[in-house]
Amino acid sequence: MLIILSGPSGVGKGTVREELFKDESLNLAYSISMTTRKPRPAEKDGIDYFFVEEDEFKKKIDEDKLLEWAQFVGNYYGTPKDYVDQLLDEGKNVVLEIEVQGALQVMKKCPYATTIFIVPPSMEELERRIRGRRTEDEEIVQQRLAKARKEIATKGEYKYVVENDDILEAKDKIAKIIREHHVDQG
Ligand SMILES: Nc1ncnc2c1ncn2[C@@H]1O[C@H](COP(=O)(O)OP(=O)(O)OP(=O)(O)O)[C@@H](O)[C@H]1O
Ligand SMILES: Nc1nc2c(ncn2[C@@H]2O[C@H](COP(=O)(O)O)[C@@H](O)[C@H]2O)c(=O)[nH]1
């Protein structure tokens, strides 16, 4: 089954996802996205993202190889269809960690998807987290924060909204949602 984890940049999607993946009983698999963004120092191609040039990304769009895609603060991001299909065929609960425009596309195509929007405790805390990560320069931080306000306004489109104040509490809430929907209680 498909699980969409969405929310503004810096809210902690990746951090909470890492905690979720420690629980093997959830039978999760991560959909590795494709992006034209340059890798951050600790990021690895094929693990964090498939890092590609813009012409390669556009070719994937033309060939209809992406389940969804979007432009986000100057870069392209998309979900490779084949990879998701392969994981679903393996019986996995597939997690798409994606921004709002892409999430809305998947909601249309796959209305059965479990959709979760993660919100920060406050905009001030969101800003602290983005800045604390030290991965973006000031101009990009400002653009991501402006985008965040618009993204948070769409949270009503999602089936669930979970606040990430404490990482483990957020993880527990999301694990409970996934269990209720996707894990055979046998
Ligand atoms: N509950 C929390 N309390 C304090 N700090 C947190 C919490 N959750 C995440 N963080 C920190 O906030 C920063 C951003 O987290 P993370 O990179 O997981 O966000 P993200 O939503 O995946 O961002 P992006 O969408 O840009 O990839 C990280 O430095 C992380 O350690
Ligand atoms: N629509 C999609 N959004 C994606 C995808 N992969 C990641 N993302 C989201 O983009 C922003 C920025 O990510 P960053 O790694 O540059 O901080 C963030 O909200 C991600 O969740 C995707 O395949 N499609």
User: pLDDT tens digit string along 41-87?
Assistant: 999 999 999 999 999 999 999 999 999 999 999 999 999 999 999 99
Round to whole Å and give the CA distance between 19 and 21: 5
Number of H helices, E strands in the chain: 7, 9
Q: Whose CA is nearest to atom 16 of ligand 1?
A: 12
The model carries a pTM of 0.97
3-state secondary structure string, 116-157?
EEEECCCHHHHHHHHHHHCCCCHHHHHHHHHHHHHHHCCHHH
95 Cα–ligand 2 center, Å = 13
| The ligand 2 atom nearest the CA atom of 14 | 21
Q: Whose CA is nearest to atom 22 of ligand 2?
A: 78
Domain borders along the chain are 2-185
2-185 CATH: 3.40.50.300
What residue type is 23 in one-letter code?
Answer: D
Question: ipTM beyond 0.90?
Answer: yes
| Ligand of minimum distance to the alpha carbon of 70 | 2
52 Cα–ligand 2 center, Å = 14
pLDDT value of position 181 = 84
185 Cα–ligand 2 center, Å = 32
Within 6 A (CB) of ligand 1 lie 7, 9-15, 129, 132-133, 164-167
| Ligand of minimum distance to the alpha carbon of 99 | 2
Those residues with Cβ within 8 angstroms of residue 62's Cβ, 6 or more apart along the chain or in another chain = none
Does residue 78's CB lie within 6 angstroms of at least one atom of ligand 2? yes
Question: Which pLDDT tens digit goes with each residue over 86-123?
Answer: 999 999 999 999 999 999 999 999 999 999 999 999 99
Does residue 70's CB lie within 6 angstroms of at least one atom of ligand 2? yes
pLDDT value of position 186 = 41
How far lies 171's CA from each of 18, 22, 79, 104, in Å? 9, 10, 23, 23
Does residue 13's CB lie within 6 angstroms of at least one atom of ligand 2? yes
